[in-house]
Copies of this chain bind each other. A is one copy, B any other.
Amino acid sequence: MTTISDGEEIVFEQPCPIRDVLDRIGNQWSLLILEALAPGTLRFNALMREIGDISKQMLSRTLKQLEQDGFITRTLYPEVPPRVEYALTDLGRSFLEPMQQLVAWAESHHRAIVEARTRYQANPEQR
């Protein structure tokens, strides 16, 4: 992400929206979190368990980003121990559709990719 100093304030350049969106959702964790939230609201630790191998830090940070970008809401119930619920917004839900297409593609072409890798490793002569 390029930043240019415009007088006193910092301006974030977003030449094409794709870059901008990719910066956020173009990482493993964001997509996995959105997928985990697709069926419904989840709490912090429930998300951790659902995803399995994400660290607290990355979950916390990614959730913050997703909230910031309007994909999810964060609701804190001031109980003890605290309860925090994360849920998709309309924007987040609208993103599910293209994402599901991607996931579907991944599932149906996974075998082809694995095969391509095997082929690649079997023919190192032409490199």
List residues of chain A with CB under 8 Å of any chain B CB.
2, 14, 17-24, 26-28, 31-32, 35, 53, 67-70, 91, 94-95, 97-99, 101-107, 109-110, 112-117, 119-120
Contact = CB atoms under 8 A, between A and B. Distances in A.
B31 A26 contact: yes
Query: What copy number does this chain have within its complex?
Result: 2
Contact of A91 (B69, B91, B112): B112
21 contacts: A14-B110, A17-B107, A18-B31, A20-B106, A20-B114, A21-B109, A21-B110, A21-B113, A22-B31, A26-B28, A27-B27, A67-B120, A68-B116, A69-B113, A70-B113, A70-B117, A91-B109, A95-B105, A95-B109, A98-B101, A101-B102
A121 to B, nearest CB: 8
